[in-house]
Amino acid sequence: MRVKMFTDGAARGNPDGPGGYGVVLQYTDTKGNLHEKELSEGFEKTTNNRMELMGVIAGLEALNRPCEVDVFSDSQYVIKAFQDGWLDSWQKKGWKKSDGKPVLNVDLWKRLLAAAEPHEITWYWVKGHAGHPENERCDRLATAAADALK
């Protein structure tokens, strides 16, 4: 089963304000019917990067069987970690960056790796706030979830 997953995160007053994530999952069945599911959640005190990670985590954790997943995100933090090998390097160095400083959000990176494990994932970066329909939809979900906590 092939799933398209669009994600976005938002934080108001980054790093100590409310934030949220938004996810749109899309699946086309064998009859050509599109099925969609939206996910969002707000958090009282968070950062934009944590919300970007939580969007992907929530989307992957919502899948109830191994899938081929196309993940679309405007977060270079998330996409480059996979595409450019950052995660492999961080893990080999005991969750330290190339400058020797600790990797931030290790708890969420570990959760994301566990959520990703059963799936075959292709990662795509999309430019944020550039009119991409699903990315804009995820942004509205994320910001609404954050604003609900103000």
Hey, which residues are catalytic here?
8-9, 52, 74, 129, 139
Strand partners, 97: none
Contact 41, 20 (CB under 8 A): yes
Is residue 53 within 8 A of residue 112, CB to CB? The reply is: yes
Question: What is the number of alpha carbons within 13 Å of residue 101 lying toward its C-beta?
Answer: 4
Cα–Cα distance measured from residue 42 to residue 54, given in angstroms and rounded to the nearest whole number: 10
